[in-house]
């Protein structure tokens, strides 16, 4: 019985190393703390030098206000900060730092040297702290500003080293960290040097330009912007169009009151704003900056201050969804196959346009559509009468014809337009179904011959759950025996389709867990399934009036550019691109 379980106070150095672990989780945390200090010091230019992914060396050089020589030792004291004076200040934090624990924490687990000189002082001061113990303090030579050099990170806490990921991964996190702070301070220049090689250089610029730079060249060419200031929330953002949605969330950046943060709330709001416009496994690329009054947000919920809590989450999320969607709808014609940049913007479409293959009726609204798509002798209402006004951004498309029984081919301003007939019709029907349900209730088409449907036990169980949602869309049914129903009406848009087949397909889809339904209500799922099984398919022949009708309906859709699976409905090939194909220019 020698186990000594007496309570002891840890030696100070041990306690500090444990506390340091919270702040100095990985090399990128050091970079974050040092760059934040530089920004707090009003730096205009910041250089970050890294060696061995930060294990051997992290150096941050700034041209900020520096520290007076007499205050220098204090900077490495725990809870010593120049930024807040009392606990009350905590509610109105405008600087990044305020806990006064970054420098002592870093110095507890590394060899740290700071050389600093306020611009008006003739001489710099230098301090060296190794594993929490001061090694040197005295005058030195150096330029105005501050240089902090962190070497041999975790030399005295080898266990921490073990937890580090691969150098490539750690360096990637450092890059992300610098990028996040660069977004917060677009007017500041940032240079990142790794192993003597320049990995990143951002000149001083405006927010939108900085955002595009961080999103990268692939996204930067296809963005739209948001600037809204309604009520107490101010939103500023740069977003990739749906075509450049990414497989990973790492292309999403959020700033709250100027501070880079992670926010599940904002990520979800974005996902909702792009809902049905991009495939379920993609994420919108975005830089979104949110400003709310300081009292509306708690930045102090996390020791590294990377997460925030909003006082009123729901209204904020709703506003983000609404405003991003509004901005999204003002993007002219996405799904552009970009012309080769070498072709230049001077290149114009051909001067003469070929004659149409056959005369095209004017897009004449829902009446023509109904005529076109109505099965002969059918008495349904006009199919797409509830559609909204045409978008002013939608190009006027001249119909050319059908390609491979799959695409509708058209021309707009000398550009080639290809429309996926199934995807386009799906989008139109889906919006119809949901709009109808919201305004006047679904229109049902009573079946001349009710269909008797025998249900499997699974279908029967599903039906009990789905009954009301099915009814809202226009499916009407009555019990007809233990596991049998009689289907008496289907949604009007589906009139003419085999009723029983459609009904079963809808039930099956909605109950299918393989389909990524994330975030969709039962009614949305049913609308999707119904639209999907009702829409014109690839392989269906379409005559010109039908195609014109489809174009007209798509023009009136709220989100005409993609089907609800997030696939594009329309692709536009620039006239300039066509010219390049034929070596006509450039
Ligand atoms: P905090 O940032 O929370 O105040 P730190 O430990 O990061 O705590 O820094 C302690 C203090 O050192 C800061 O409050 C600031 O006065 C000073 N300081 C740190 N880095 C710099 C810098 N790059 N330029 C000027 N002053 C600095
Ligand atoms: Mg700090």
Question: Mean per-residue pLDDT for 336-340?
Answer: 37
Give mean pLDDT, residues 411-440.
83
* Ligand showing the shortest atom-to-Cα distance for residue 98: 1
Does the C-beta of 99 come closer than 6 Å to ligand 1?
A: yes
Q: Where are the beta strands (DSSP E) in 323-426?
A: 336-337, 398-403, 407-412, 415-420
DSSP string, 19-70: HHHHH-SSHHHHHHHHHHHHHHTT-SEEEEEEEGGGTSEEEEEE-S----GG
Q: Is the pLDDT higher at 80 or at 271?
A: 271
Tokens of 184: 């917060």
DSSP string, 261-324: EB-HHHHHHHHHHTTTTS-TT-B--EEEEEE--GGGEE--SSTT--B-EESSHHHHHHHHHHHH
* Residue bearing the CA closest to ligand 1, atom 8: 100
Q: What is the DSSP pairing of strand 111-117 with strand 124-130?
A: antiparallel
Whole-number Å distance, alpha carbon 39 to ligand 1 midpoint, is 10
The angle at the Cα of 303, spanning 156 to 105, to the nearest 5 degrees, equals: 25
Answer for the pair 573, 451: CB distance below 8 angstroms, yes or no: no
Mind listing the domains of the chain with CATH numbers? 12-202 (3.30.565.10), 207-328 (3.30.230.10), 334-586 (3.30.1540.20)
Q: Is 78 in the pocket of ligand 1 (CB under 6 A)?
A: no
Site to substitute for ligand 1 among 82, 89, 304, most atoms within 8 A of C-beta: 82
- For the Cβ of 63 lying below 6 angstroms from any atom of ligand 1, the answer is no
Q: For the segment 341-385, what is each residue's pLDDT rounded down to a tens digit? A: 333 333 333 333 333 222 223 233 333 333 334 333 333 323 333
CA of 159 to the centre of ligand 2 (A): 25
User: Strands 415-420, 407-412: parallel, antiparallel or unpaired by DSSP?
Assistant: antiparallel
Q: Please say if the pLDDT value at position 189 is more than 70.
A: yes
Ligand 1 pocket mutation, candidates 89, 93, 97, 112, criterion most atoms within 8 A of CB: 97
Question: Measured from the CA of 33, which atom of ligand 1 is nearest?
Answer: 7
221-259 pLDDT, tens digit each: 889 999 999 878 999 999 998 888 888 888 999 999 999
Say whether pLDDT at 282 is over 80: yes
CA–CA gap between residue 139 and residue 26 (Å, rounded): 31
Crossing angle (nearest 10°) for helices 457-473 and 522-534: 90
Residues 568-577 have a mean pLDDT of 82
Question: Relative to the alpha carbon of 81, which ligand is closest?
Answer: 1
Kindly state if the Cβ of 75 falls inside 6 Å of ligand 1.
Answer: yes
* DSSP tag of 445: E
pLDDT at 269: 92
- pLDDT value, residue 50: 97
Q: What is the mean pLDDT of the chain?
A: 81
Summarize pLDDT for 434-481 with one digit per residue, the tens.
Answer: 776 655 556 778 888 888 888 888 888 888 888 887 888 888 888 888
Burial of 457-474, coded b for 16+ CB within 10 Å and e otherwise, reads eebeebbeebeebbebbb
Nearest CA to ligand 1 atom 19: 37
State if residue 46 touches ligand 1 by the CB under 6 angstroms criterion. no
Q: In the numeric block, which tokens belong to residue 479?
A: 């019990």
Ligand 1, atom 14, residue with closest C-alpha: 81
Predicted confidence (pLDDT) per residue in 6-18, tens digit: 777 767 766 677 6
Residue 83 Cβ inside 6 Å of ligand 1? The answer reads: yes
**What span, in angstroms and rounded, lies between the C-alpha atoms of 484 and 500?**
12
Ligand with smallest separation from the Cα of 83? 1
Residue 422 has pLDDT above 50, yes or no: yes
261: β partners: 254
CA distance 570 to 527: 21
Q: Whose alpha carbon is nearest atom 16 of ligand 1?
A: 82
Query: What's the pLDDT score for residue 257?
Result: 92
81 C-alpha to center of ligand 1: Å?
A: 6
Q: Is 103 in the pocket of ligand 1 (CB under 6 A)?
A: yes
Does ligand 1 come within 6 angstroms of the Cβ of 300?
no
- Centre of ligand 1 to C-alpha 112, Å, is 14
pLDDT at 172: 94
24 lines ligand 1 (CB under 6 A): no
For the Cβ of 534 lying below 6 angstroms from any atom of ligand 1, the answer is no
Is pLDDT at 388 greater than 70 in this prediction? no
Report the residue among 86, 103, 185 best suited for mutation to probe ligand 1: largest number of ligand atoms under 8 A from its CB. 103
**Burial class of residue 482 (count of CB atoms within 10 Å of its CB; 0-12, 13-18, 19+):** exposed
* Mean pLDDT within 520-526: 76
Q: Is the pLDDT of residue 319 over 80?
A: yes
């Amino acid at each position: 019985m020698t186990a000594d379980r007496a309570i002891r106070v840890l030696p100070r150095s041990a306690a500090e190393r444990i506390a340091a672990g919270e702040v100095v989780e990985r090399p990128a945390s050091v970079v974050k703390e040092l760059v934040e200090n530089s920004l707090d010091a009003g730096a205009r230019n910041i250089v970050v030098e890294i060696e061995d992914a930060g294990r051997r060396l992290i150096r941050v050089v700034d041209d900020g206000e520096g520290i007076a020589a007499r205050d220098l030792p204090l900077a490495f004291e725990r809870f010593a900060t120049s930024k807040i004076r009392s606990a009350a200040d905590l509610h109105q934090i405008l600087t990044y730092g305020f806990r006064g624990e970054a420098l002592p924490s870093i110095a507890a687990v590394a060899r740290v040297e700071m050389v600093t000189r306020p611009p008006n002082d003739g001489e710099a001061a230098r301090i060296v702290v190794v594993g929490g113990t001061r090694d040197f303090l005295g005058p030195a030579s150096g330029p105005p500003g501050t240089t902090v050099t962190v070497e041999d990170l975790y030399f005295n806490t080898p266990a921490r080293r073990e937890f580090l990921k691969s150098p490539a991964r750690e360096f990637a996190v450092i890059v992300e960290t610098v990028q996040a702070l660069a977004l917060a301070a677009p007017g500041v220049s940032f240079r990142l040097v790794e192993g003597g090689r320049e990995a990143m250089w951002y000149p001083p610029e405006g927010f939108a330009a900085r955002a595009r730079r961080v999103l990268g060249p692939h996204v930067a060419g296809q963005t739209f912007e948001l600037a809204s200031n309604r009520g107490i929330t101010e939103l500023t953002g740069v977003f990739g169009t749906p075509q450049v949605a990414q497989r990973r969330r790492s292309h999403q950046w959020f700033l709250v009151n100027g501070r880079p943060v992670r926010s599940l709330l904002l990520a979800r709001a974005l996902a909702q704003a792009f809902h049905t416009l991009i495939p379920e496994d993609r994420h919108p690329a975005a830089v979104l900056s949110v400003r709310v009054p300081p009292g509306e947000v708690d930045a102090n919920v996390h020791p590294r201050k990377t997460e925030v809590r909003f006082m009123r989450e729901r209204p904020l999320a709703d506003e983000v969804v609404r405003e991003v969607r509004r901005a999204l709808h003002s993007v002219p014609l996405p799904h552009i196959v970009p012309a080769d940049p070498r072709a230049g913007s001077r290149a114009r479409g051909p001067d003469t346009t070929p004659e149409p293959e056959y005369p095209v009726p004017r897009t004449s609204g829902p009446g023509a559509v109904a005529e076109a798509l109505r099965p002969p002798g059918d008495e349904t209402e006009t199919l797409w009468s509830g559609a909204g006004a045409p978008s002013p951004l939608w190009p006027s498309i001249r119909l050319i014809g059908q390609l491979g029984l799959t695409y509708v081919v058209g021309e707009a301003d000398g550009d080639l337009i290809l429309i996926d007939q199934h995807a386009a019709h799906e989008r139109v029907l889906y919006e119809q179904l949901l709009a109808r349900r919201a305004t006047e209730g679904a229109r049902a088409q009573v079946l001349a011959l009710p269909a008797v449907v025998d249900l499997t036990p699974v279908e029967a169980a599903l039906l009990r759950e789905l009954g009301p949602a099915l009814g809202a869309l226009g499916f009407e049914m009555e019990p007809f025996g233990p596991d049998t129903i009689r289907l008496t009406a289907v949604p009007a848009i589906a009139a003419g389709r085999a009723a029983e087949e459609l009904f079963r397909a809808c039930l099956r889809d909605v109950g299918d867990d393989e389909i990524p339904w994330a975030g969709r209500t039962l009614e949305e799922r049913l609308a999707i399934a119904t639209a999907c099984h009702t829409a014109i398919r690839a392989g269906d022949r379409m005559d010109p009036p039908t195609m014109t009708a489809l174009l007209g309906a798509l023009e009136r859709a709220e989100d005409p550019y993609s089907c609800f699976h997030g696939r594009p409905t329309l692709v536009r090939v620039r006239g300039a691109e066509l010219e390049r194909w034929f070596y006509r220019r450039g």
